[in-house]
Amino acid sequence: MPDRFARFTRRNFLGTFAAPAVIRSAAARRPNILIAIADDQSYPHTGAMGDKVVKTPGFDRVAAQGVLFRQCYSLSPGCAPARAGLLTGRYPWQLEEAGTHASLFPRKFTVFPELLERHGYFVGLTGKGAGPCNYTDAGWPHNPAGPSFDKYKVANPPRGISSNDYARNFEDFLNARPKDRPFCFWYGGHEPHRIYEKGAGLKAGKRLEDVVVPPFLPDSPEVRSDILDYYYEIEYFDSHLARMLDLLEKRGELENTIVLVTADNGMSFPGAKATMYDYGIHVPLAVMWLAQCKGGRVSDDLISFADFAPTFLEAAGVPIPGEMVGRSMVNLLRSGKSGVIEPDRRRVFSGRERHSHARFDNLGYPARALREGNYLYVWNMKPDRWPAGDPELYADIDNGPTKQWMLEHRNDPKVAPLFEHGFGKRPEEQLFDISKDPGCLKNLAGQAAYESVRKSMRAALEKALKDHGDPRMLGKGDIWESYPRFSEMRPELGGFAERGKVNPKYLVK
């Protein structure tokens, strides 16, 4: 990349940094924290990462004035477990009900916003925080990400876009903040989660021919248009981020604010979200801290969502609880270097259990993954189950034009392999060379040339999961199937209940 990106950052942003004396003054204060987390966005889809179609000036500004992390991995390819892990600094398989989708969020788990609040921070949330989960019945006074600031709405937003005026609600939060207290604010966009307004990208002036279709999706006008609609929602999320940055700058708060921008999991398309493939767990990340972080840098260190909570706590001078497994990124931010800064950040882990009402009796699809070097190793623990959900609903894939087009064209010889990749059953072990195969289309497990890599990564993953106390490694894996689900069934899944395929005990409303 990045030579072009580096030249751009030096030319356009480095001149905006404060003078050294001002930086030293700001360093003496505890930093504010702004977390901006999109809903379902894969790593390549920002301007800073080289996408020429989607326009993300907010994200690009954070990347240019801070650090663009190109190897950030979510803890899960689904919303609730990824967000729970981010908040707690722990792996989803350590979080009981909070480690699956739409269940409880046990009150016993410590989250970083609450720790910051105990140490004098003013904490708030707009949009989507932890979840979907039931935190009320678990005893939380509000969403674990913070008290809600959602008063202001946008009139007549496009279909699929939240009515929440995120940026205006951030301003409301700042106005309510007591004088001289540092703040921690969570901006949780509902975008680009489906549904999308069909044709919104084309109406906005984007062109089908400019889309770079990911290798695991068929190249058709319908799919290209669906991707443009996805881009449209990314841009909407980014527009509120840009407004928030401008507001902080206007109020003189930007310099001493850590701004972290990411997404909870990958894009809502077959072969991405809800899968352990790279596009399902590899997400965008940029972090800016003008007071202590030299900008214009790119990092290829492997970053986990578990690292965020320790980072915020260290920066705020708050003790990091021993149960947090992540590693603070403060040294990465302060290093002033690009490339690989901490060579011992060699591995990141991810995993999933239940995602939606997708299988008989609400069974999940347990899987774990390890990213190390150029390789992604996936362990599908129940390969007899359908990873995308039982046919013909395949309900772990969100409904949309791409899913429907692939279902209708599954017998086309050009589409069939991609359909099998996204919808079909998977072997117990999968190994991919991400540097050559980011779409995860070529499974190297079972090939003699890669046997040593497979064995090494399987052993490392098993050891880590045992060390983490994963119930799947302790003979207690069935516990995941017992956790209640507190959400209404998707409309398209009504047939499951009618045919008796969903046990009523799992449908708590």
Span 221-232, pLDDT tens digits: 999 999 999 999
Q: Return mean pLDDT, the chain.
A: 91
Residue 499 has pLDDT above 80, yes or no: no
Please tell me the predicted confidence (pLDDT) of residue 8. Answer: 34
Please tell me the predicted confidence (pLDDT) of residue 490. Answer: 56
What's the rounded mean pLDDT across residues 393-406?
A: 97
For residue 417, whether the previous peptide bond is cis, meaning omega lies within 30 degrees of 0, is no
488 within some domain: no
What is the rounded distance in angstroms from the CA atom of residue 160 to the CA atom of residue 165?
Answer: 14
Q: Say if residue 202 is in the same domain as residue 58.
A: yes
Residue 5 has pLDDT above 70, yes or no: no
504 within some domain: no
52 within some domain: yes
115 within some domain: yes
Q: Say if residue 283 is in the same domain as residue 421.
A: no
Residue 358 has pLDDT above 80, yes or no: yes
Please tell me the predicted confidence (pLDDT) of residue 343. Answer: 85
Please tell me the predicted confidence (pLDDT) of residue 487. Answer: 75
Residue 498 has pLDDT above 50, yes or no: no
What is the rounded distance in angstroms from the CA atom of residue 101 to the CA atom of residue 92?
Answer: 10
DSSP 104: B
Range of the domain at 22: 3-342
What is the rounded distance in angstroms from the CA atom of residue 405 to the CA atom of residue 415?
Answer: 10
Residue 393, CB-side half-sphere exposure with 13 Å CA sphere: 19
- CATH code, domain carrying 237: 3.40.720.10
Q: Which of 342, 373, 388 is the C-terminal boundary of a domain?
A: 342
Q: Say if residue 359 is in the same domain as residue 338.
A: no
Residue 360 has pLDDT above 90, yes or no: no
Residue 506 has pLDDT above 80, yes or no: no
Q: Say if residue 218 is in the same domain as residue 94.
A: yes
Please tell me the predicted confidence (pLDDT) of residue 397. Answer: 97
64 within some domain: yes
CA distances from 338 to 43, 54, 66, 193, 301 (A): 19, 25, 11, 32, 10
Q: Please choose, from the candidates 274, 310, 314, 275, the residue with its C-alpha nearest in 3D space to the C-alpha of residue 292.
A: 314
Q: Say if residue 200 is in the same domain as residue 57.
A: yes
Residue-wise over 375-404: b if at least 16 C-beta within 10 A, else e? bbbbbbbbeebbbbbbeebbbbbbbbbbbe
Q: Say if residue 153 is in the same domain as residue 192.
A: yes
The 67-69 sheet, strands edge to edge: 122-127, 183-188, 32-38, 257-263, 285-288, 67-69, 297-299
508 within some domain: no
Please tell me the predicted confidence (pLDDT) of residue 87. Answer: 98
Q: How many domains does the chain have?
A: 2
Q: Say if residue 29 is in the same domain as residue 140.
A: yes
Residue 502 has pLDDT above 70, yes or no: no
Q: Which of 313, 342, 371 is the C-terminal boundary of a domain?
A: 342
Q: Say if residue 303 is in the same domain as residue 358.
A: no
330 within some domain: yes
Span 58-98, pLDDT tens digits: 999 999 999 999 999 999 999 999 999 999 999 999 999 99
Please tell me the predicted confidence (pLDDT) of residue 486. Answer: 85
What's the rounded mean pLDDT across residues 241-262?
A: 98
What's the rounded mean pLDDT across residues 26-46?
A: 90
Span 450-489, pLDDT tens digits: 999 999 999 999 999 999 999 999 999 999 999 998 876 5
Q: Say if residue 221 is in the same domain as residue 366.
A: no
Q: Which of 315, 342, 369 is the C-terminal boundary of a domain?
A: 342
Q: Say if residue 232 is in the same domain as residue 99.
A: yes
Q: Say if residue 76 is in the same domain as residue 198.
A: yes
What is the rounded distance in angstroms from the CA atom of residue 352 to the CA atom of residue 364?
Answer: 8
pLDDT tier at 316, thresholds 50, 70, 90: very high
In DSSP notation, 318-381 reads PPPPTT--S---HHHHHS---B---TT--EEEEEE---SS-SGGG----EEEEEETTEEEEEES
204 within some domain: yes
Q: Say if residue 265 is in the same domain as residue 411.
A: no
